[in-house]
Amino acid sequence: MRVHRYRVNRGARAPLKRGQTDKLIANGATINSGATLSGQTRGALRQGLVLTVISNTSANPISDTFANLPDGGIAAVNGNNLQVSYEGSDGN
């Protein structure tokens, strides 16, 4: 069993500007079976805000989904309800 942990903006040297987030950029991505994703937010997020967790630069779509986040599902994070989408803004 492989266990990987990826943390964004943890101990960053320069703070992000308001509305910016860290993300993982990958040229092709496969989410391993059983992998889960969790996160934290600070305060209320504005409605309609898009948070990108994985930016896929490959022409191929991300393979599989996180076990705890089905496509179209709702993730409750610190009082914010976030809708999950694996399609992304450019179709992959």
pLDDT 10s digits, 54-88: 888 888 888 888 888 899 999 888 888 888 888 76
Say what the pTM is.
0.61
Distance CA 83, CA 70 (A): 10
More confidently predicted of 7 and 85 = 85
Strands (E), 1-92: 24-26, 54-56, 74-77, 80-83
- Which residue, 77, 78, 60, is CA-closest to 86? 60
Distance CA 14, CA 89 (A): 27
User: What mean pLDDT, rounded, does the chain reach?
Assistant: 73
